[in-house]
Structure 1
Amino acid sequence: MGNLSEKTVQNLKIETVEQYVRVVSSFERRHVAQWFFRGHGRREFRLVPTLFRVVEHNPMSNVGAIEAYLMDCFKQEAPAYLASPPPSDDELGWLTIAQHYGVPTRLLDWSTNPLIALYFAAVGHPDHAGDVWCIGAHSTHNCLAESTHSDQRSTVRNSGLIVFPRHLSPRVTNQSGCFTNHRTDKPADESDWEDYCRFTRIAIPAEQKKQVLSDLYDLGIHGTFIWPDLGGLAERLRYEVTVQHDRRTGDTG
């Protein structure tokens, strides 16, 4: 089984969606209960939540003070815009909504769907290489041949570091969203997370992003799916009328 606590990052590279699917499909799944994926439009981005990045530019305050201010204000003012706000004591519910609308929090977005992460890695910063970070969560009983998907999920849900929020927004549902909950500003790949055993980083060259997005569009992964609202519809329509795509012949020889 090996030493699953070692945080050696495996670095891979893909140029097509087909290659990406093959790579993800080959991931170890006996000693890893489940894989989680996050896309970055630029490879220099680190696995650090926005709250800690805000603190870097605000030396007069600490993390706790900024977090308390942001969440107190959000919980006070947001109900006017929410049809069904969470109960006042549902901290994760409030954090989920705040993260969803761009408030800096200690949560970092991940997805159980690798194609969602690939979309985010390809959609922004066209002149820069992107990447998809993959975290494999350690398994307690997934090694057994008779284990099921529910066995797999119970292992991860009991780990405490992956947070599965209530689906308070269709975006969470469509993006197969979940979070890691960070206590320090240390990047996830440098943290001592005993429950996580595998880190893989998949690079996407800048010159391949356009084709990757085109292929994802053909698979139904586009703005309307990622953001199931008017903003997502507008994003897809902009894409359809502004981006030219490769008119391949389909030859396989």
Structure 2
Amino acid sequence: MTNEIRLESWAQLQEVLFADSWDSQIGRFRSRLAFRGLSDSRYPLATTLMRLGGDYAELERHLLRNFKKYAHRSMVERDSVWHWLTLAQHHGLPTRLLDWTYSPYVALHFATANIEQFDCDGVIWAVNYLLAHQHLPERLRAKLDAEGANVFTTEMFSDSVATLAELAALSDRNYVVFVEPSSIDDRIVNQFGMFSLMPDVRGRLDAWLADQPQLWQRLIIPRQLKWEVRDKLDQANITERVLFPGLDGLSSWLRRHYSPRHADPQ
């Protein structure tokens, strides 16, 4: 498998996004990939907590403690660290979580939503969560097997691990877990979202993936192709108006939709 593909056309993009999604056991197309779109291919897979800088690992507990203190408790289904973390990430608190989606088109949206970055290449990260979960500690693998699931729900994960410290103690090696958040609002539902997290808060997912080349690909969207991708996503109704329901999403879509096209990059 080629780990990095530079796309040349919209047609090639469709072919690559859905490659290897055929499941012969059930006779259906069922991708096992999690997608993450970034507007600049140079961006690392760094969490919002990492991007705070400083001693961000020490800040994590203070951020989460105060979020729990001031947020209304009716916002979470259960008083577990994982329910609080997913809620906090969803509302913009810096956390150790990374946003992913089952939808390649949603990932494409995030790679092309910022037209101010159309002078640089974008990227779609595609990670096979089924293969990634083969590296989980036995307790977590057993929970997935018992449930007949490929990805944790927040409830399943809360039943498996109670604290961040307990998660780190499950193995002396780093690993990645993919978790589906509860459907707390239409934004999560429409974005078909999930999160990844690692037991080592300082661990970079791209660094971990570098040692697991069979798990991932990077699909480079050349800057020359971004306008075409963006316009065709808009025609397919993959827009801020849908992915961020409400007046804020509507305004973001209209502002971008009516912005003049800049000169094509050379």
With the shorter chain as reference, the TM-score category is: 0.7 to 0.9
In structure 2, the partner of 1:69 is 62
> 1:220 corresponds to which letter in structure 2?
N
Show the counterpart of 1:118.
108
Match for residue 36 of structure 2 among 35, 38, 47: 38
Offset of residue 223 of structure 1: 0.9
Matched residue, 1:95: 85
> 1:133-189: CA deviations, max 9, x gaps?
00013469xxxxxxxxxxxx7134499711111111211111110011122433323
Q: Hey, which bits of structure 1, 4+ residues long, moved more than 6 A?
A: 192-196
Q: Matches of residues 1-253 of structure 1 in structure 2 within 5 Å?
A: 10-27=3-20, 34-54=32-52, 56=53, 58=54, 61=55, 63=57, 65-79=58-72, 84-86=74-76, 89-124=79-114, 125-138=117-130, 154-157=149-152, 161-182=177-198, 183-191=200-208, 197-243=214-260
Quote the Cα distance in structure 2 between the aligned partners of 1:156 and 1:195: 19
Q: 1:216 to 1:15 in 2, by over 3 A?
A: farther
Return the TM-score normalized by structure 2: 0.72
CA deviation map 1:11-67 (0-9, x unaligned)? 11224443222112213655997111000111111112111222x3x2xx350x301
Q: Distance in 2 between matches of 1:15 and 1:243?
A: 24
Tell me, in whole angstroms, the C-alpha distance in 2 between the residues paired with 1:62 and 1:224: 33
Higher relative contact order (Cα pairs below 8 Å, separated by 6+ residues):
1
Percent identity among equivalent residues?
Answer: 28
In structure 2, how many angstroms separate the alpha carbons of the residues matched to 1:93 and 1:208? 39
CA deviation vs aligned residue, 1:190-249 (integer Å, no higher than 9, x gap): 21699994210000111221221110000110111111121111112223322459xxxx
Would you say the 8 A contact 1:9–1:199 is kept in 2?
A: no
RMSD of aligned residue pairs (Cα, Å): 3.4
The answer to whether the 8 Å contact 1:75/1:94 transfers is: yes
Instruction: Give unmatched runs, 5+ long, in structure 2.
Output: 25-29, 134-147, 157-174
Amino acid at match of 1:95: L
- Report the AA paired with residue 164 of structure 1: E
Contact 1:111–1:178, Cα closer than 8 Å, also in 2: yes
* Counterpart-to-counterpart distance in 2, 1:166 and 1:194: 31
SS in 2 for 1:50: coil
